[in-house]
Structure 1
């Protein structure tokens, strides 16, 4: 999930779920003095690439379905069901791939080039788009007030920087949950750097830091998959029942409960309940993610591209009233919107698109950083002779 949203430094940067390959016969040979030790080749785990691709598909579908919620109860139920867990799943997987983040030079470099630079570029571009397409030349340009989906990059940056802290705490999850509750009951917390969402989704990221591969393996059993089906059906049924009156902004964690018309004490309950519900649905989703290689597996390495680029098209659909056609609100039209969203995000995660936009999504920026090869040579030259 970014470079992809879920890779370390990053959802975002190693783009992989690396599994160390077995060393060959020559691996035991000691390298000459001064020669950098070569790491054994790594291969990607198709399960996690599949999970990242399918998660970004849900993100695209959720954004595409939003206008349809004004015209149909079933569409609203689908929207609520997906929004109940798709960003929590994103945050959890991002946390899982951030476990190795230790503030080392390589990690910091990837954090800057894989999260900070894309955020600066795309947040500026989106703000200019809003000015032009929205015919609002006075719209302020503020990098501290992320627009639309850009909040996740800000959150990912903050979460990654604090990863060593969460890994060192003995009771990290209760503390993260307490911060999420604090955000829910604090109307004056402010909107800068999307702090409400940063704290609201923090427990999922911290939980991902604590998970191991074997935890995901326990979900991929026939029994869990069979149990997941009635759970998801029940969740959709509950969403369908509450669709006419439920406030979907509770799922965004973008504001306090008092700003949504609820008493402050309600945040003490809504936050843990939404967390548990999202966790159950995320487990159901991960249980059905295929573990072997599929045609879309390679697309899991390009989720950052899909995440950043699809926002332009989503916003264009709002600015130019693409949804002003009554047939889109029919069952056939809703299926058509879903198919277009899936096709669009698939193309945006593909190799050709990544090649075109790599200079802004995964810039090398070697001019800004010390070359690691030169640094290694200097360290070798400074080392005392053996």
Structure 2
């Protein structure tokens, strides 16, 4: 099957931003330009990945079974690994285990729920509008933000649906690359400056407005703006990204291994550096920037290798064969 090179590039771009954002987060560096970069990245790194996931989703009756096999089983596998990792590094087993996804693994659980529900969702009138309403309203309810990834599943659902419907609308959103760049740059700067005064967790879309110390109306407006801005950024990036192979292509092609395995590096590298006496890196602006760039480049390069992805695929296939019955043609 021929791959969509442009979307591999877009996915690879989102992976680099996601990994970089996580490395920035673990440095706990609080200089203004680090906060600026962190906010800018979170404006569209995950929305772009979720949009692409929606773009390649199908609403046929087999979607739910396929989603269980290709997404939910990997979620169970790698959540188990994360539980083991936490036990070995922290000395305890998470109480809620599979009900609260391991760090970053919420995306797999949410993706499974989106794809499993998609065949039903597309039969509901005005589902796109309804998804926005649900995304706004969930922030008014003070629930455990991590439990079954409920909050982010609802909040990112409009972006997932946008990706799904975009297949039939792509031509209507096509503009010249130069125009897209002219719009994108001021939009990114303006949106980052808009959200910079607020706690960056507002862009994670999992906390209730009250826990962010803001009223429901203000929270809903900021959340709605964020979703709409991220969609516009995605449209512009779709017009800018080339359709030829670049260094992003392989990262996008093997994005599953990059996304899932990055967390072990993100959390262990700082601990190793502290243990070896290199903790001074995190007190220097220049060294901290250098660390984030080099760590991001190395992790994305290593984890996007075909061998790494192949090992992951073999593991998933073997576990799937154990858990699922063979289907007869």
* TM-score normalised by structure 2 residue count: 0.89
Distance 2:201 2:317 in 1: 32
Q: Secondary structure at the match of 2:59?
A: coil
Q: Is the 8 A contact 2:55 2:165 kept in 1?
A: yes
Is residue 287 of structure 1 aligned with residue 243 of structure 2?
A: no
Farther-moved stretch of structure 1 (83-92 vs 60-69)? 60-69
Which aligned pairs between 1:1-386 and structure 2 lie closer than 5 A? Answer: 42-68=1-27, 70-98=29-57, 100-104=58-62, 107-135=63-91, 137=92, 139-188=94-143, 191-212=146-167, 215=170, 218-219=174-175, 221-236=177-192, 238=193, 243=196, 245-317=197-269, 319-320=271-272, 322=274, 324-326=279-281, 329-361=284-316, 363=318, 365-366=320-321, 369=324, 371=326, 375-376=328-329
Distance 1:220 1:163 in 2: 32
In the superposition, relative to structure 1, how do residues 68 and 74 fare at CA in structure 2: closer, same or farther (>3 Å)? farther
Deviating beyond 6 angstroms after TM superposition, the runs of 4 or more aligned structure 1 residues are none
Q: Is the 8 A contact 1:219 1:287 kept in 2?
A: yes
State the shift of 1:183 in Å.
0.8
State the shift of 1:120 in Å.
1.0
Distance 2:75 2:29 in 1: 31
Distance 2:93 2:321 in 1: 36
State the shift of 1:213 in Å.
6.1
Per-residue deviation, residues 42-87 of structure 1 (Å, max 9, x unmatched): 3112111111111111110110111345331101100101111111
Q: How many residues align?
A: 325
* TM-score normalised by structure 1 residue count: 0.76
Q: Secondary structure at the match of 2:2?
A: strand
Unaligned runs of 5+ in 2: none
State the shift of 1:114 in Å.
1.8
Q: Secondary structure at the match of 1:149?
A: coil
Farther-moved stretch of structure 1 (263-272 vs 51-60)? 263-272
Unaligned runs of 5+ in 1: 1-41, 377-386
User: Whose Rg is larger?
Assistant: 1
Per-residue deviation, residues 286-324 of structure 1 (Å, max 9, x unmatched): 333221122442332211111110111112235556583
Q: Cα RMSD over matched residues?
A: 2.5
In the superposition, relative to structure 1, how do residues 319 and 76 fare at CA in structure 2: closer, same or farther (>3 Å)? same
Q: Relative contact order (alpha carbons < 8 A, sep ≥ 6): 1 or 2 greater?
A: 2
Farther-moved stretch of structure 1 (173-182 vs 214-223)? 214-223
Q: Tell me the residue number matched to 1:28.
A: none
